[in-house]
Structure 1
Amino acid sequence: MTADDAPNAAQWQAWNGPMGAFWADNADRFDRGAPAYRETLEHAAAVEPDDQVLDIGCGAGQSTRDAARRAHRGHAYGVDLSARLLEVARRRAADEQIGNVTFTQADAQVHPFTPASVDIAISHLGSMFFSDPRAAFTNVRSALRPGGRLVLLVWQSFGRNEFMHRVLDALTPGRETPLPSAQGPGPLSLADPERVHALLEHVGFADVELVSVESPITLGADPDDALAFQSGQHAGLLADLDAGTRARALHLLHDDLVAHHVPHRGVCYRSAAWIVRARNGLN
């Protein structure tokens, strides 16, 4: 599949362009940013030794490898749009000598999964970027065996995630902060519990529940390190600013990073996510 014929074309292009390259180059930093969420998802998923696991939007594959270790008599399958991130995932699985894992460049929205082939589908912040979430979760549900489980980690609202709104506020001085869409593909698309319930129940999931979890997000070892990271992650936003406004924005962001610097811990911001659980309610 190419970007031109992908139904999720904008996301395909983004994750195989500069954004995907940035995430691949900073995979360690993203994995270290909130280790508590990794542990929370692993606990909620409760993967068993014989399970077949599907990891949606697996990125650099940390959650897939975690699942593969637990499903040591089963298998873990990671799918993601980004070729660069999947290169990292495959390399790390080989380095860690994890043989029961497979990574595929695919859009879980349309990929022809083998019907009723997996016991559990998981996602660590990777299920929020579908152009058609109804089609995506219908497709994911079809891959689950009857009664198979879905366990997602997704962000809560913009206001509950300080690392989002404080950074974006600083980078848009004198302008209204550009809120990520709560409807289209993006980090807030599954933030509304009512929308999540309606979406999953409509496509055949049952026993849908959301549990609130919170964890600090670490953006860097110190303010200068965090500034370099955040200015790279938001390079597109900064590129739209004139030189003077860009300098002011970076100054404001640096001041905020200084205010959130915790000695011996790094630059830390509050964040909140949902653990979403459901089961395949259709035969």
Structure 2
Amino acid sequence: MEAALTQIRDQQQQTWDTFSPGWRKWDAWTMDFLRPMGTKIIEALHIQPTDQVLDIATGTGEPGLSIARLASQGSVVGLDLSVGMLAVAHDNAAQQGLANYAAVAGDACALPFLDQRFDAVSCRMGFMFFPDMLLAAQEMHRVLKPGGRLATCVWAAPAHNPWIATMMASMSPHLALPAPAPLAPGMFRCAQPGMLAGLLETAGFSGVHAEEVQSTVEFDGPEHYWQNMLEIAAPVVAAMSQADEATRAAIKATLFRKLEPLLVAGKLSLPFGSLVLTGEKG
């Protein structure tokens, strides 16, 4: 990879290692939140008991851990840049008694596996952070066996994701939030319809299909939402690092005013939307 892309990869690794304690704390909540996309990925892969599966950007282990239960006579490799996140995945596998799941450190743009090694590849919420998305897709294609299946997902547009957009809108009057550089790694990098599908086709995948998954995520009120955003939402944490105490208080007040009308019996439900894409290696 070019030096600039290597720098992006290293920054991503440092970022997710920094976030790993927060993700461990919020793991059960986060896995419930992301389960609809994980379920769609698993359904699309048609996992067989003897399958060998690669779960890229495995984070704290899902959907790889769920896949490992289905591939009971096969194995799952969960790959991630972040050693801190992989430590959580390893602990989760041990707690669930999944001896056929292995957490491995590695780069999606330079997969440390032989050609045609896997029957299926899953990748939940990873593509938008890869330094070179086409190279990552080509690597996934390379390590799949002929007829092998890929299922991945990314966030849909901000308008479909009030769960994070509400916080970002509350910060913008109080902080200078620069517009992201075109195609720079970030949550909504792959949100444009057709963008990731075209990239997968360019990498050699056939039968590429995209589907939007919409649901809601629940918080135990505004304070629960605030703490969640400050501890695991990467763009929020990055932006709030600029804020002094007075600015943080002003942002919190703005946020709570936005959330107040949305409360039902003290609970807060916010919509989210993602794009799930599937394809095959011919």
The superposition leaves residues 105-134 of structure 1 with CA deviations (integer Å, 9 ceiling, x where unpaired) of: 111111221210111101121232101111
Aligned partners of 1:227 and 1:257 also within 8 Å = no
Q: Name stretches of at least 5 consecutive residues in structure 1 with no aligned partner.
A: none
Residue of structure 1 aligned with 2:248, choices 246, 249, 267? 246
Paired with 1:66 and 1:53, the residues of 2 have a C-alpha distance of 11
TM-score when normalising by structure 1: 0.89
What RMSD, in angstroms, separates the aligned Cα atoms of the two structures? 2.2
The superposition leaves residues 88-114 of structure 1 with CA deviations (integer Å, 9 ceiling, x where unpaired) of: 111111111111111101111112212
Paired with 2:101 and 2:231, the residues of 1 have a C-alpha distance of 31
Aligned partners of 2:174 and 2:247 also within 8 Å = no
Return the offset for 1:180.
Answer: 5.4
Other structure's SS at 1:128 match: helix
Partner residue in 1 for 2:122: 122
Q: Percent identity?
A: 26
Partner residue in 2 for 1:148: 148
Aligned partners of 1:213 and 1:275 also within 8 Å = yes
TM-score when normalising by structure 2: 0.89
Matched, 1:110 2:105: no
Q: Which one has a larger percent helix, Structure 1 or Structure 2?
A: 2
Partner residue in 2 for 1:183: 183
Question: Which amino acid letter does the alignment assign opposite residue 242 of structure 2?
Answer: D
Return the offset for 1:81.
Answer: 1.2
Q: Name stretches of at least 5 consecutive residues in structure 2 with no aligned partner.
A: none
Number of residue-to-residue matches in the alignment: 275
Paired with 2:213 and 2:77, the residues of 1 have a C-alpha distance of 26
Question: Which amino acid letter does the alignment assign opposite residue 46 of structure 1?
Answer: H
Structure 1 residues 103 and 34 mapped into 2: Cα distance closer, same or farther (>3 Å)?
closer
Aligned partners of 1:124 and 1:153 also within 8 Å = yes
Partner residue in 2 for 1:258: 260
Aligned partners of 1:34 and 1:215 also within 8 Å = no
Question: Which amino acid letter does the alignment assign opposite residue 172 of structure 1?
Answer: S
Matched, 1:11 2:12: yes
Matched, 1:203 2:206: no
Partner residue in 2 for 1:35: 35
Aligned partners of 1:153 and 1:273 also within 8 Å = yes
Paired with 2:216 and 2:278, the residues of 1 have a C-alpha distance of 22
Select between 226-235 and 62-71 the one with higher mean Cα deviation: 226-235
